[in-house]
Amino acid sequence: MTTKYQKFGEKSESVAVDCLKKQGYRIIELNYRTKLGEIDIIAKQGETLVFIEVKARKSSRFGRPELAVTPKKQRKISMVALYYLKSTKQSNAKARFDVVAINSAKAKERPSIKIIKNAFELAYK
């Protein structure tokens, strides 16, 4: 059974995908899962492979959504990204990490969506 939090996450990722497509991203994978962890979206923008983390908030009580991509989370995403690159034989590909921050604190308004390109560097230590 899907919880209300999972439904909110799925809806947020769908909103992110729509926004990314409008910005010229070509979606390759959604919810790429390995034993190491998960990457929400893998896309291409031009010749660059982009690993994207989606963070959404319904209120500002816990701060801005992008702040939830902590150094620990960055390391986990980095490990999964390296695994993806190796397993798809793209180790030499140009790649970056973006974050899509969605804030839907004001229920009557459309959510604010911010794409943060190059949100962090490869982090594996």
Domains in the chain, please, with CATH? 4-120 (3.40.1350.10)
71 token code pair: 């150094």
- Asked if the model's pLDDT at residue 111 lies above 70, the reply is yes
What average pLDDT does this structure show over 33-49?
Answer: 96
- Residue 52 CB coordination number (10 Å): 27
| Percentage of the chain modeled with pLDDT above 70 | 94
Q: Which residues of 26-43 are buried (b: 16+ CB within 10 A; e: fewer)?
A: eeeebebeeeebebbbbb
* Residue pLDDT, tens place only, 64-82: 899 999 999 999 999 999 9
* pLDDT above 80 (res 17): yes
Average pLDDT, the chain: 90
